Structure 1
Amino acid sequence: MAKLNQIIAVEKGVRAKSLQDVTAAHQKVQKPALLAGIARTYQPKDEEGEQLPPESTRVQVQAEDVLRETAASLTRLFDVTATKDWANRTARADVVVDGRTILAEVPVGYLLFLEKQLGEVQAFVKKLPVLDAAESWALDPSTDWWKTEPVRTIRTKKVPRNHVKAEATEKHPAQVEVYHEDVPIGYWTTVKFSGALPARRVNELVERVEKLQQAVKYAREEANGAEVIDQRAGDAVFGYLFG
């Protein structure tokens, strides 16, 4: 059993670390190169054609993993703040979304904290990377990445050709013009990979945040304004938001 002053003492440090972690997560998902992957294989047009090794790039960042890491970091902050506010609570109200009680008997101080934090969560969620709508994506169960269907493209090589502009005569040599022609020599088969999210997933997350924001504001309006028991509010909040 901890004392309230102990919780207040550690809250500032927890808040600073949480901000650092969320900033790092935000920067990570804003780097498209880390979310993208590709696999290319090459097949020469004939047996004598040049053999090229396959090329591949692994997805280094997966948005769902970043969501889990961010939730874990923020859960500690939410729990420490909840423990402090529950100890000081006077007026309180339930946070209810679509008939479901997300948090019960929440004090006004924590409702104000939730309003501010959910605004930051909303900004984070709205900037989550979305799969390119120009491509058709399917979830690959072997990697848990999104991938496209293979696309086959031709590899060409410029081959010099001679164009006789004038035939040779007894007095003049032939007039020949050299030009280059693109000749198919093989085929690339390309599959694109991504760790981004489907638009419907991002829209769903945004809707959940907005619903919870409205519920928190309503709960604050409904409310009137020693030793502490550890609270576990973070799991409930992020279990709903990112679950």
Structure 2
Amino acid sequence: MAKLNQILAVEKGVKASSQRAVADAHHTIQKHPLLSGLSRTYQPIDDEGEQLPPESTRVQVKAEEVLAEVGKALTKLFDVTATKDWTNTVAKADVVVDGTTLIEGAPVTYLLFLEKQLVELYAFIAKLPTLDPAETWTFDDNSGAWRTEPVKTTRTKKVPRNHVLAEATDKHPAQVQVFTEDIVVGYWTKTAFSGALPARRVNELLARVQKLQDAVKYAREEANSAEVEDRRVGDAVFAYLFG
């Protein structure tokens, strides 16, 4: 008895050949001269008249025969697809990760859906923002975010100063040079906060997704190894349609 994965392997080829057969039939049936034939003979008025040979054209395409070929091609497709779909309703497998069953008796169609979703989820997690590795981060329960250690810096202010180059005399005023001096007037204490994730957390999440992806693929292969019961529906369908 065949298995579901064998049916899946041939389904694509059967579908392609069926579509090709229908397309060829449609193309052929549109060639009206091929469906036409004739037969004519010539009879002169009297025996002295010119004798002409008979003419005939054979019908090359018969619509009923084309229908029969289409029915034959589609019958195989209908049967293969029916066999696959009927088996899909009973082909199931458990999704097991590290000995724990996460999903019990998942049908093949759901496993295929899950595979696609996990690919998209992996891409989403891979793009999550991560904490700046140049900083030391600790989780702050009060803010619910990550924070750095406080860093204290000074705040300065430019204050003008006078530098006497020459003292004043009774004949000359004092020569004074004005300059500015940075004076510490206060202190900043800065703590950075971030809602990003540590790189190790992102890598851990990615590893979990990969592990589940492997488990889903294994379950799908197991489900696809289910034995199939051949379904023959095409003959009945086309006996009704073209009968």
Normalising by structure 1, we get a TM-score of 0.51
Letter of the structure 2 residue corresponding to residue 144 of structure 1:
G
Structural mapping, 1:49-198, within 5 Å? 89-168=89-168, 172-198=172-198
Q: In the TM superposition, what whole-angstrom CA distance separates every residue of 1:33-68 from its partner, at most 9, and x where no partner exists?
A: xxxxxxxxxxxxxxxxxxxxxxxxxxxxxxxxxxxx
5+ residue gaps, structure 1, are: 1-84, 226-243
What percentage of residue pairs aligned between the two structures are identical? 68
The offset of 1:124, in angstroms, is: 1.1
Q: Secondary structure of 2:192's partner?
A: strand
Q: Distance in 2 between matches of 1:193 and 1:155?
A: 22
Q: Distance in 1 between matches of 2:143 and 2:130?
A: 18
Which structure has the greater CA radius of gyration? 2
Going from structure 1 to structure 2, the CA distance change for 1:180 and 1:91 (only over 3 Å counts) comes to same
Letter of the structure 2 residue corresponding to residue 136 of structure 1:
T
Q: Distance in 2 between matches of 1:108 and 1:175?
A: 95
Match of 1:222 in 2: 222
The offset of 1:166, in angstroms, is: 4.6
Question: Is residue 205 of structure 2 the alignment partner of residue 205 of structure 1?
Answer: yes
Match of 1:26 in 2: none
Q: Distance in 2 between matches of 1:96 and 1:165?
A: 88
Letter of the structure 2 residue corresponding to residue 145 of structure 1:
A
Q: In the TM superposition, what whole-angstrom CA distance separates every residue of 1:184-214 from its partner, at most 9, and x where no partner exists?
A: 0111112222222222211111110111111
Going from structure 1 to structure 2, the CA distance change for 1:212 and 1:168 (only over 3 Å counts) comes to same
Which protein, 1 or 2, shows the higher relative CO under an 8 Å CA cutoff with sep ≥ 6? 1
The offset of 1:112, in angstroms, is: 1.1
The offset of 1:144, in angstroms, is: 2.1
Q: Secondary structure of 1:143's partner?
A: coil
Q: Secondary structure of 1:161's partner?
A: strand
The offset of 1:168, in angstroms, is: 4.6
Q: Distance in 2 between matches of 1:166 and 1:112?
A: 92
CA RMSD of aligned residues (A): 2.3
Question: Number of matched residues?
Answer: 139
